[in-house]
Amino acid sequence: MSEISQVWFEQVKKLKVGQAIFIRVADKKEQIALAKEFEDERELYANADSIHASQIFITRTLKDMKQYVLLERKYRAPFTAFFRDAEGDFSKISVDPERQRILKLMVKDRKSRVEIENTLGGLTEKEIEEFFPAVVYKSMT
């Protein structure tokens, strides 16, 4: 990767949703090569911050008859989807990876359920089933 792609990608990471940077290139060959370098930069960045990296879009474009590589940050909700049940009804489902990370760390650190609930503002039924399953004791008689 070139110094150009590294320097500009640092600027791209600072963009707010809806903002973009157009980088002028000399020709189609340079446009393809530079776009590929930015895609490689984004792939490396995804290891550190996959959500933010997924919001960075790299496009080769033509503006005013000049070639550019467009670097843009767009809103994406990668942890929101729709579930279709057997009857064909849809419902929105969301996953909060930060909440899951905190919950897993607190369980690993053997924090009490009360402390975890206070920190996270309560637990969902699914979280209770997964992390605090009901304990069934068998009689020794």
CA–CA distances in Å: residue 111 to residues 2, 86, 106, 118, 130: 47, 39, 5, 11, 16
In degrees rounded to 5, what are phi and psi of residue 62? -120, 125
Residue 56's pLDDT is 96
Where on the phi/psi map is residue 84: left (φ > 0), alpha (ψ -120 to 50), or beta? beta
Here the tokens at position 88 are 């064909």
What pLDDT, in 10s, does the model give residues 97-119? 778 888 999 999 999 999 998 98
- 14-52 confidence digits (pLDDT tens): 999 999 999 999 999 999 999 999 999 999 999 998 889
In the chain, how long is the greatest CA-to-CA distance?
86
Residue 73 tokens, joined: 């940050």
